[in-house]
Amino acid sequence: MTDTPRPTSSAKLWGGRFSEATAASVEKFTASIHYDARLYRHDIAGSMAHARMLARQGLISDEECAAIIGGLEEIGREIAGNTFVFRPELEDIHMNIEKALTEKIGPAGEKLHTGRSRNDQVALDLRLYLRDEGKAVDTLLAAAQKGFVRLARRYLGTVMPGYTHLQRAQPVLLSHHLLAYFEMLDRDRGRMADCLERLCVMPLGAAALAGTGLPIDREFVARELGFSTITANSMDTVGDRDFALEFLFCCTVIQLHLSRLAEELVLWSSKEFEFVRIGDRYCTGSSIMPQKKNPDIPELIRGKAGRVTGSLMSLLMTVKGLPLTYNRDLQEDKEPIFDALDTVQASLSIMAELLDNLTFNTEKMQAATLGGFMTATDLADYLVRKNMPFRQAHGVVGRIVALCQQRGVELVDLKLDELRTFSKLIEADIYQVLSIAGSVNSRVSAGGTAEVRVAEALDRAEQQLGIS
């Protein structure tokens, strides 16, 4: 009797207990190497720290450690130089690298996985990866913030209608509107920083789920990799993906903020508004209508909000209902993360370019403040200052607006005598109050749109971003 050949399974790092080769369909279905190869740098960094720890603890010799480090460096160069051959039958990045290492350096390579499991290994790789990418996102957010601040500086003094319900509400400074986005992105940066702080906890050493009996030193690995703490519970460590969910949530909010801006740019660049002109280099044409110039970039940024939100939803659903600890479902965490990151980074960087290619139509914006009774609240506040209860003032001004509407005129068009038929408290100084500049500059409350407040906010923003 001859031995049944075991061609593929024996090549597997976990092949020992199997007597049949894995079905090709299974290899195809379970493989993640086509996307998790992205983690190779972090996988190698984690393995190097792990190997150093093993040597320090006497679990491998210094020579073995040196061979491992040298082999991993070489593999890193091969992957970077596109000469590394990835093997789908080795499932993922972890086993592709480990197998290649053993083929390169022999038995020392087989010692690398001592006291470690792919379950804690992948938790480490992902955290290392997100730590780097989170910082990259922060840099892009700061660049976009600078774009807003530059525009706010350039257009300081320009008035425009501020909207609620997309109805003209009260006049504001364009710079105030732009700095609202500075604030949103500032919170996005803070949110990401918080996420990274919770995420930067070293998971290696949880092993498969229960820890290990081998004398490892987790604190050492943490220090090697620049983490200040280690995870507390081995079962939580390999089962947890909160950090990835939180990261995806941060990405989603960023994309939603960009999407809101995108929506405004689409509206504002339309003939109906004509508030802004997007530079030709950042627009596209129509294949049938020769006159068209379309705001495709903001539209796509807005469209991609669905995609990033979908990634968050996808991982939320993957995690829901998983029993402790690691389950293969968790392999589904990577694609949404990669896709969300690609999308958010591309959107942030093109949006920053777009901001530098906007020209606001200040006359059009100014003109739009003149219709729509936008200083009605100022008139009510004027009466309040003369001691009329606000609710009464609201009623009085409402009746004045109704009269204006009936006649098709604006508040400033009414004669003083006419205004006084509604309230004797109204005097000649009302016209200054009803002017757009008067209205804007009266809003001096902290965080308000008065030019003094906006100029202060702008100074603070510039200082924070290191713009002089």
Chain residues binding ligand ARG by CB under 6 A are 32, 92, 118-119, 122, 326, 328, 330-331
> Is 468 an active-site residue?
no
Q: Which residues contact 343 (CB under 8 A, 6 or more apart)?
A: 251, 255, 304, 307, 308
Task: Taking the CA atoms of 445, 447, 451 and 457 in sequence, report the sign of the dihedral they define.
Answer: positive
Q: Is 396 helix (H, G, I), strand (E, B) or coil?
A: helix
Which of 122, 376 has the CB closer to ligand ARG? 122
Which of 116, 118 has the CB closer to ligand ARG? 118
Question: Which residue in 165, 287, 445, 468 is the catalytic one?
Answer: 165
CB of 119 to ligand ARG, least distance (A): 5
> Would you give the DSSP letter of residue 331?
G
Q: How far apart are CA 302 and CA 347, in angstroms?
A: 9
For residues 147-186, one letter each, b for 16 or more C-beta atoms within 10 angstroms of the residue's C-beta and e for the rest, the string is bbbbbbbebbebbbbbeeeeebebbbbbbbbbbbbbebbb
The dihedral over CA atoms of 304, 309, 312, 313, expressed in degrees to the nearest 10, equals -130
> Which tokens belong to 222?
């943490």
Which of 118, 218 has the CB closer to ligand ARG? 118
**Backbone dihedral angles phi then psi of residue 61, each to the nearest 5 degrees:** -85, 165
Which of 92, 240 has the CB closer to ligand ARG? 92
CB of 339 to ligand ARG, least distance (A): 15
> Is 61 an active-site residue?
no
Q: β-strands 276-278, 358-360: how paired?
A: antiparallel
> Which tokens belong to 445?
């409350």
Which of 122, 433 has the CB closer to ligand ARG? 122
Q: Cite the active site residues.
A: 165, 286
